[in-house]
Amino acid sequence: MHLPYGFSSIKIMSVTNGRAQFGPPGYECDLLYIACLAALVLGGSGPFSIDGYIKDRKNSGQK
């Protein structure tokens, strides 16, 4: 669907009355979303996860 519009997500079609008219988005945003989701799936949330925070609080409270 976005392939005909190219890579860039910001395409200025024209400027009228000092306002920019933007065209349809390209596939740049879609690739960014896929890259972010792949990073989360492959790398996990790590120390910033809520489960890790709760686990650390439970372990430090028991000592």
pLDDT value of residue 35:
93
* Nearby residues of 19 by Cβ (< 8 Å), 6 or more positions away: none
Q: Tokens 């890790």 map to which residue?
A: 52
Average pLDDT over residues 25-36: 85
CA–CA distance, 4 with 21 (Å, rounded to integer): 18
Residue 63 pLDDT > 70: no
User: Where does the pLDDT of residue 10 fall: very low under 50, low under 70, confident under 90, or very high at 90 and above?
Assistant: confident
pLDDT, tens digit, 9 for 90 and up, residues 34-56: 999 998 888 877 777 888 788 88
The DSSP code sequence of 13-49 is EEEETTEEEE----SHHHHHHHHHHHHHHHH--GGGS
Q: Structurally, how many domains does the chain consist of?
A: 1
Domain of 16? 3-62
Q: Tell me the whole-structure pTM to 2 decimals.
A: 0.50
Query: What per-residue confidence (pLDDT) applies to 9?
Result: 64
